[in-house]
Structure 1
Amino acid sequence: MLKFLICSFALVLLYPTAIDLYLVGLPQISADLSATESQLHIAFSIYLAGMATTMLLAGKLSDSLGRKPMAIAGATIFVGASLMGGAAEQVSTFLAARFAQGIGAGSCYVVAFAILRDTLDDKRRAKVLSMINGITCIVPVIAPVVGHLIMLKFPWQSLFTTMAGMGVLVCLLSLLLLKETKATGEISKSISGSGPQSHHERFLSRFFVSRVIIASLSCTVILTYVNVSPMLMMGTLKLDRGGYSSVMAMTALVSMITSFSAPLALTFFRERTLIITSQSLFAIAAATLVLVSRYDVNTVGYFISFGLICAAFSIGFGVTMSQALSPYSQRAGVASSILGVSQVCTSAFYIWLMGIIGVSALYALIAILALTSIVCLALISWIPKPTSSPQYEESHYST
């Protein structure tokens, strides 16, 4: 079991590392490639686009060919794309490399969740997913520091060499340590579509759709917070870069503590209680932001709301993902890819829409907090987790 957990953690970590590690090198990348600031900002969206366009195919292939081949393929693509990014001499080549990195990272991300669905029961899976969320919260804090230390001695290309090294490590773990979690018989049945439960595992069930919505909106909240945080802290609150980094480090610490506490909380509280708590904290964070902005309260109120956002996401995300994957034994790869694509696309669309219509950073954050808490609390109340058999679940929850 430990081998599966190590491999799953490693597969997931490629995704945030490729986002955060190269950021400290952006000024040098811009100068060397004669790229504008807007072109390099597009690199973030292109990376997410690579993930989104690949996840469904990767999920389907992991169900038909197996988890291990897709993990190795995803890591190999990530290695090649990282080397390509480090060798880029034109901005078009750099952007193509970022897209390919998204393909590799997205494939590994999908496989990781499918492996956890294969190997863990509902309760243990919820605990492990919460721990994975805690570890991924460490990356945005550690990666820029590591990147800065690397660039004290080496050029920006070394950042992508480091990413390639991580990809090689993940590839070796997948090749040497990871055992196939989808049995050979299940793989053949998945290819033929004749598995004993495959006709029950449909994706238009009310329960699955509701958990996809909850997970996607929650992910949109945290990515909106990350996206608008520089404008709020360095613009509205007038913090310098050091102050901004300190606040982000503290909120990341809140995320880590909450994520690692969630498995313990699951031994005392029901999953439903944690999800409701998560969405309630989003609502409290929205109300706090409205009050501190309206009545010009000191900056402590903002920091409290930022901490509430990170804690709320960490409490509920792992449980929600675990519930969403729970009904799928034959099609866990496709289920995890649907979740991933929905999260990426929903977040990207909302952030893009707020920018297009000119909503301020503060009100974009308040709006998604309020929308998420209202919609998700309603879905949790109307569509609870079923406790009946798969056959009943399908007939009762299908649309």
Structure 2
Amino acid sequence: MSIQDTSRRTVIKQMGATALALGGGTLLGARSAFAADPVQLISHRYPALEFWAGKMKTALPGVDVNAQLIPFEKMGELVTIAMSSKSATFDIVYVIDSTVASYARNGWLRPLDDLWAKYKKEFALDDFSDAAMKMCSYKGHIYAIPGTVNTMMFYYRKDLFDAAGKTPPKTMAEYQALAKSFHTPARAGTIDCLKPSDATLNEAHWYMNTIGAGWFDDKWKPIFNNARGVRAIEALKDTTKYAQRGFATAANDECTIALQQDAAVMGQQWATRARSVDDPKQSRVIGKFDWTPMPEGKARVLTDGYAISAFSKQDPDKLFRIMATATREANMREAAAMLVPPRKSLLQDPELRAKNRFYAAAAQAIETGVPFPALPEFYAVGEFISRRILQAVTGEMPVKEALDKAASETEAYLGTRGYYK
């Protein structure tokens, strides 16, 4: 379900249902129902984000923070509905690099430059890496406080690789050959996460940058349907022969479970999921995985964090202090097992690197990674790009035809946004 094919009334009903399901007991928009007028946080959900939400709840004495943590696509739908109507429903909003650009362009976020300068020393804000700050900014203005640097890495069962005399792949061809060689009825050769739209775009991004020439040219004209782009998606289609069952509806959670439950040997997955395959409460393969950057690099890298809604009625100083307190160095050190910290002092910390064995691979993957295109509308056009890719991969349409349709739809959409004047 997407904004494009969901009525406004339906999505607003879902907003209420989400609030009730998460324990709010009241429609999110009904501000008057909250006696203490708590700060409203909306966020994607994974372990590191649950940690940040918990820290925000206790950041300022006497300030109540109501955290709504939901899957990425649904969160995006609710934010879009609220922000496009200039609603004060949300105060603090989870963002990633591409949504920073989109929301800032639309005027939905409050610039943080003044607050950044005011609290720079108190919260050691100059400790954030340049890469993280670049992805939290738009047209020279800061719009978010970084919470995590995240990148997709190559996960592989070192025990199975060692037993077979195999080493991690260096090329796409080697990756596919390994997926085929390890594939059995009981255990998939690789994971693939192709649930539209975020998971599909994440997965295809590596193929589009390794075999293809990227998504767009310098005029924002699609190039993902050229000869190299077609070869990229054909390679993805070929790889799915060795994927876990249900790959077409699998996102990060489903793919992580496949790795944890000994149902797949390898694949690309986020660095923030590395700790979960060693979690004795969830995993059957503790200590058996290792990590490297994706072959040839060029997998997705992003910074996520928190921004202030331009329509919030709350005191911006209070909101900024909540975010900055939650992400200060001591808390980030505590959360280091769940994320790759965007603070320079922690990224290079020998003790943290020793405790978190995925750090070395993550640091290398960040250096070789490629962010999504800096196009504010990338997630909007990604809705139909991802669906066309899935149609191509599952054989519903020929690859070239599917990508040509996606390119045509993308150009039509961006044309209405003034990109090709």
TM-score (structure 2 length as normaliser): 0.23
Structure richer in helix, relative to its length:
1
Structure richer in strand, relative to its length:
2
Determine which structure has greater relative contact order: mean sequence separation of CA pairs < 8 Å that are 6+ residues apart, divided by chain length: 1
TM-score (structure 1 length as normaliser): 0.24
